[in-house]
Structures are given as C-alpha cells and as structure tokens.
Chain A
Amino acid sequence: MVQKHVKRSPAAIKEALCGYISISPWLVGFIILTFIPILSTIYYSFTRWTIMDAPVWIGLENYIRMFTKEPLFYQAVRATSLYVAMSLPVIIVFGVLLSLLLNMKIKGMNFYRTLFYIPAVISGVSIAMLWTWLLQPDVGIVNTLLSYLGIQGPKWFWDPKWALPSVASMSLWKVGGSAVIYLAGLQNIPPQLYEAARIDGAGKLRIFFRITIPLLTPTLFFQLIIQMIEAFKVFTEAYVITKGGPLKATYFYLLYFYEEGFQHFNTGYASALILFLVVIIMLMTAAVNYTSKHWVYYEGEGKSK
C-alpha cells in the first residue's frame, strides 16, 4: 500500500492477482452472507421497527437513546466489561497451563485429552442444568465438598456478588475445548530448539519463557482475539440460568440485545445496539492486532534476522 504511486513489477502484479484469486471464495461469501445482511442492519439502526411493521426513519434517535435514556445499556456494558476483564486472562492462562499438562509424554495421554474435551461437547441447556446443580448452594456438589473443608460456600448464581464469577468459572470449565489449538501450537515448536537449549544448559523455566512462550505467541495472539470475541458475546449462561439477575449482575450485552430485538421487538434499536458492540470489538481487535507487531513472533516473517 505504501508503493501506491510506484509502478508495480509484473511479478508483484502477478502475486497480487494470485492473492485475490486465493481469497475469492471468502470474499464472495462475505459479500453475500455478511455484508448485505449487515447493510440492512445499519439501515434498521436508523429506524423504529418492530419487525412486524414497516420501518420508520428516525435518524440518530436510537443512538441518542442508547447513550442518554437507557440505564439498562450502561448496566449491560458494565456487566459485560467486568466479565471480559475477569474471564479473559484466566481463560488464557489456564488454557496454556492445561495444554502444557496435556502435552506431557505419559501413557494414556490420549485418554486424558479426550476426558478434558468432554465439556466442549455438551451443548446448551444440558450444560446449564448441570451447572445450576453443581453450584446449588444447599445441596450442590461444590458446596458440599467445601463444607467438608469447613468452608461455607457462597450462593453462586443466586448472589449478586458471586453470579459473575460463577458464569466465568463455567467458561473456565470449557477451557479443555481450546486445548487442541494450543496443542497444535506447542507441537509445532521444533524439538531441535529444545535440545539445543538443553545442551546450552538452560533450565526448564528458562526454556519455557525463552522458547515455548515466544514460539507460542502466534497461537496466543489467535486465542486472545478469539476468546475476547467469545467473552464479549457471552449469552447462553445468562439467558438460561440467571436471566440477567440477580440485580442485573449478569445482564450481559447480548442478553440486552436479544431482549430488545426478539422479546420487546424493538428491532431498530437492537440493530443500533449490536452495531455499537461490533464497532467496540473491532476497535479492541485492531488494538490487539496493532500491538502484535511487538510481541508476536512469526518464524515465517523472519523477525529474528
């Protein structure tokens, strides 16, 4: 892009052409399946629309209302930001730790890996039901175990202070699902590097921080963005278990969006809500992407040279 005014060499033109050809399947799909639907969402965000009536153009009113008249909006933003801040670091750290464990060369590892994958396989309501039972304050397994240790367990989903951490621990439980991605990243590190380091007399910790982590950064970068988006999109847990309560502690942004759009039929307003979220996540992603130059190491880019 820097060479906009410089004449391209035939080779560069050919490469660009190949580039466009190779991404063409995505581009076509993007335009038809995402871009056009989003255009209509943008249009609806400037209208008052109940799905069942014709949309009425009201200009910026939805956006003004969002920021000035809706206390729920701020509650949703607050709950979601807290959740992201609380769960994202923990999910990343535990994800790495778990995959390190699962990367050990011991007998039966295939079996363990499959076990740890189980939470990712159960979907939707079964998992919600499971958790409400496990964390049930009086008879749930978790509090029963805690009581053996002499600890009076909290009321989890049913305490405004504990509801958010409870939802976060649910997502932590599913961390085994993403282990496979870390594993692929870990296994992609050439064993020779480890050997060389060992011969140089580096300790285990040193090897971890000097070799494993740097070479895992492309995977970490991927996980960071994916998990961030996932965290912003937290919905099912609140929708099924807490219904956003108690006292709006888990009133997440997507729940707010869903209630406005699909229960209160304020679809125009809901469109504005979702566009705001998309812009926020885009900005966050762009920020992470920008910083990635400084901490993500790609062998293919030859940065070490």
Chain B
Amino acid sequence: MNNAITIANVRKKYRQKKMLVSVLTHLFMISLSMIFLVPILWMFSTAIKSRWDIFLWPPEFFPKVWQWVNFRDVFTRVPMLRFIGNTFFIIVIKTIGELLAVPLIAYGFARLRFPGKNALFMLVISTMMIPLQTKLIPLYSMYVRIGLIDTYWPLILPAFSGTPFFIFLLIQYMKTMPRDLDDAAKIDGLGTFGILYRILLPLCIPALTIIVTYTFLWTWNEFLQPLIYLNTYEKFTIQMGLEMFKGIWSVEWNLLMAATLATMAPVLIMYFFAQKRLIGGIASVGMKG
C-alpha cells in the first residue's frame, strides 16, 4: 500500500514538474515574442491614427478614434490588389525557375567531380557579395537592347539560372547526406541524374522549402529591380506600391504602416505553412536515415 502511494506521488510530482516546466517555457516564449510583437503593435497604432496625430505629445499608444478607414484607403489610393497579384505572378514563376535550376546545379557541386569545381564554387559565393547597384547600368542597357524593359523578364530570368544563395544552401544540405545512398542507388542501376531526382531530391524537401520561403520573401520585398525595369503603372509590384505613400514633401506614415501591415499578412501565412512543411519533410528523412 505504501508502495502504491509513493508511486502515485512520484507520478503526480512528475506530472506537476512537467506542467511547471511547460508553463515556464510558454511564459518565456511569450515574453520573448513580445520583443518581436511590440513593434508590430506600434505599427498598428500608427496605422489607425489620423495623418498628423502620430507625433502628438504625450504620445498616444491607442488614439481616441480608431481610423479604420486607413486600411481601406490603402487599397483605393493605390491599386494595391493589382500590385499584389503582379507580385504573386512573379513569385510563382521565379519559384518554378529556382526549383528547376537550383537542385541540378547544387548536385553538380555537391556530388560530381569535374576540373575547376572549387574555383567555380568560389565564384558562386563571390557573386553574392556584389551589390546590385554596380550591375544596374550594364544590365539595364542589355535589357533595353533586347527589348525586355517593361516586362517581367528581367525580374524572372535570373531565377532560371539559380540564385547563388540557394545553390550554396543546397550544396551544404546535399553534402550532409550519406554517400551510401548514392552507392546503393548505383547498384540499383540508377544513373547520375537518377540519383538526384529519385534519391536525393525527396530528401531535400526541407531545403527546397527554404528556397520557396526565401524566394517568396525576397521577391515580395524587392524594390530596386522592379523600379528600374518596369514602366507601366499596372505592372508595378507591391513594394513600389508602398513607396507611393511617400510623397516628395511628406510621408503618409499612417497609410504606409497600414499598407505594410496589410501586405505582411500573406507572407506570414505563407511562412506559417512552409515551416510546418519543414517538419513534415524532416520526419521522412529521419525514417530513411
């Protein structure tokens, strides 16, 4: 009887301890996320103020009158929905391009032996450090000459040759995969590219998820290139739309913040699902390894 009580006690204590740890963890996570959340609240409070009330003293975290109309104005003042649609179109095509090109290129670097590989790999990395500004003028003049200005081509084409960041990422990822996999596949009669598409690629899904996420995010936030290459208002992208709230003599901070918040949602939703996929992908890797 005594024994039974002790066991029950231990179990109870264990459960209590687990509860406590769990509560503490959540408390910690919540307070940590406040660091990331407070600024968003501040953005929100700016977004619902009237134009000139942002700099009042004493500062009002929440204004007396919530000006929800700002969120509507964002979409009426500038054809924001259209810009979002355009950006989505670019993202989809770019993602296809990256997913086609990057695994192939990374595979070459990670698994195949050929002369000059190391030098070329250094080139892949080096191209990441060249600021876009240095290339703007030559690229612009090239795209004008082949008649691609005011089309989405200059924005999309580079994706089909793989972004160095992604290539590097996938090389690193592939390198961690056991060579035994390749050898086994070879014995099964798979060719060089068969190994890539049959064996390695399914295992790379987490890395591919990262590629999709980042392509989405970067294209979403891209301003300089659409600005340079696009002329027609109806073809503009989301960031150009946001820039429209900055006048030459003053910035409409409330609308800018409302627009930033409103357009942030799709990216976060996308990320929410993407990182779930990340987990799914890993589980399968675990099984196979």
Contacts and interface: CB of A to CB of B under 8 A. Distances in A.
A and B touch in the complex (CB under 8 A): yes
Interface of A: 1, 4, 12, 14-23, 25-30, 32-34, 36-38, 40-41, 51, 101, 104, 106, 108, 110-126, 129-130, 133-134, 139, 141, 173, 176-177, 180-181, 183-184, 187-188, 190-192, 215, 218-219, 221-222, 225-226, 229, 232-233, 235, 254, 257-258, 261-262, 271, 274, 277-278, 281-282, 285-286, 289, 298-302
A177 B35 CA distance: 14
A98 B126 CA distance: 28
27 contacts: A15-B113, A16-B115, A17-B114, A30-B161, A38-B135, A41-B138, A51-B137, A110-B272, A113-B275, A118-B264, A122-B260, A130-B42, A141-B38, A176-B36, A184-B206, A184-B210, A187-B278, A190-B285, A225-B168, A226-B168, A274-B130, A285-B129, A298-B176, A299-B178, A300-B111, A300-B175, A301-B175
A181 B210 contact: yes
Nearest to A286: B122
A123 B133 contact: no
Nearest to B113: A15
B74 interface: no
A301 B180 CA distance: 10
User: Top 6 nearest A-B pairs by Cβ distance?
Assistant: A29-B161, A22-B108, A19-B114, A187-B282, A19-B112, A16-B114
Given A187-B285, A254-B131, 6 more contacts: A12-B113, A25-B162, A30-B161, A41-B135, A184-B210, A188-B176
A262 B32 CA distance: 40
Contacts of A139: 59
B138 A37 contact: yes
B23 to A, nearest CB: 11
A104 to B, nearest CB: 7
Contact of A106 (B26, B134, B179, B209): B26
B: interface residue count bin: 35 or more
B239 interface: yes
B53 to A, nearest CB: 15
Given A300-B110, A301-B175, A29 B162 contact: yes
Given A116-B33, A120-B217, A257 B131 contact: yes
Contacts of B38: 141
B9 interface: no
Interface string B21-59: 010011001001101111110110000000000000001
Contacts, number: 258
Interface string B176-199: 111100000000000011001000
Contacts of B151: none
B228 interface: no
Contacts of B117: 19
Which of B128, B223, B246 has the largest count of A CB atoms less than 10 A from its CB? B128
Contacts of A134: 39, 42
B71 interface: no
B272 A40 contact: no
Given A15-B192, A37-B135, A118-B36, A23 B108 contact: yes
Main secondary structure of the interface of B (DSSP, over half): helix
Contacts of A36: 138, 142
Interface stretch (B62-70, B85-93, B99-107): B99-107
Given A30-B127, A38-B135, A192-B289, A130 B177 contact: no
Contacts of A277: 129
A51 B29 CA distance: 52
B36 A119 contact: yes
Contact of A117 (B109, B116, B268): B268
Given A129-B253, A278-B130, A110 B36 contact: no
Contact of B114 (A15, A33, A183): A15
Given A173-B35, A221-B172, A274 B134 contact: yes
Given A30-B127, A222-B168, A1 B115 contact: yes
Contact of A22 (B29, B105, B125): B105
A93 to B, nearest CB: 16
Given A300-B175, A302-B179, A41 B134 contact: yes
A273 to B, nearest CB: 10
A80 to B, nearest CB: 13
B148 interface: no
B231 interface: no
Contacts of A106: 22, 25-26, 29
Given A26-B124, A188-B176, A180 B223 contact: no
A302 B177 CA distance: 10
Contacts of B123: 30
B175 A115 contact: no
B267 interface: yes
Contacts of B165: 226
B36 A226 contact: no
Most A CB within 10 A of own CB, among B123, B130, B177, B223: B130
B112 A261 contact: no
B75 interface: no
A30 B162 CA distance: 9
